[in-house]
Amino acid sequence: MIATAVPPPGDPWDLPLDQAPLAFVDLEMTGLDPAKDRVVELCIERVRGDVVEKRMYTLVRPEGMADAVGNAHVHGIVAEALKGAPSFADLADEVMATFDGAIVVAHGASWDVAFLEAEMARAGKPMPLPFYIDTLNLSRRTFGLKKHSLDSLREHFGLDRSRAHRADSDVAALRFVWQKCIETLEPKTPRDVWEVRIAQRKAREQILAECTEAIAAAVPVTVIYRPRSRPPEPMQMVLVEIVAGLDPPRVIGYQLPGRGRRELRADRILRIENDGTTRKVEQ
């Protein structure tokens, strides 16, 4: 994928978030090399709003590797359990139908996407997935935690850890983490979620638009901001300027009370809350 490429306009990326089809996916594999390792377990939940439209969950028999499951010490799936399971080629049509028109959401998504693409290509049904949403990336932006693995997030949120590294359990944890991120970020569309980038100094267009509106209104707003290595913090501010020439853009304002000047990195602003006042503040 070209670094400057963005998801295509229109459906599903520009639908309201609760109307967009999202395919939450987790895979368990024999190893870490998509060229030679194979998927041994798969779970996909296609969700729109709060409705699960379709769910796939199955063990997968790795063709040509019946006696070598590799990562059994991680996921606990042994060769004997896979003998009666379908191959990925058997599942390919259903996998393609489940993903059709949906946005892939996964934790550490590049691994799952690489294996999906490799398995579908081997099945003779290429399915490129150039754009996807990674909850690992969202977690790193949203929460001030030291670790962001799914295991660490399970521990942080008090989720059941008894079946960690099994695809169905990991999808359940993935969807919980997704919801926590969405509650904090309050995105309007999947594109806005995709624009949450770590280490790319990318500011979300939705946030810049909301800052512009706040500047024009000249009324106090609450900025939910996550400083580096710290949890999010709310700041009541009057915003006065966006410095677009910097990378990332900076948002200038005065923090209340006291009117101390603050310069905020736009990519670290999680959301803007209108305080409900219509009284303009004299600059």
165 is catalytic: yes
Length of the chain: 283
Annotated catalytic residue within 75, 107, 148, 165: 165
105 pairs with which residues across the strands?
24, 133
Q: Are 197 and 262 in contact (CB under 8 A)?
A: no
User: Can you tell me the distance from the alpha carbon of 245 to that of 137, in angstroms, rounded to the nearest whole number?
Assistant: 25
Q: Are 26 and 112 in contact (CB under 8 A)?
A: yes
User: Can you tell me the distance from the alpha carbon of 283 to that of 153, in angstroms, rounded to the nearest whole number?
Assistant: 43
What lies within 8 Å, CB to CB, of 147 at 6+ separation is none
Q: What is the largest CA-CA distance in the chain?
A: 74
Identify residue 261 by its one-letter amino acid code. Answer: R
Helix/strand/coil (H/E/C) assignment for every residue in 141-201:
HHCCCCCCCHHHHHHHHCCCCCCCCCHHHHHHHHHHHHHHHHHHHCCCCHHHHHCCCCCCC
Give the count of alpha carbons within 13 A of 36, CB side only: 4
Q: By three-state DSSP, how is residue 96 classified?
A: helix
Identify residue 221 by its one-letter amino acid code. Answer: V
Active site members: 165
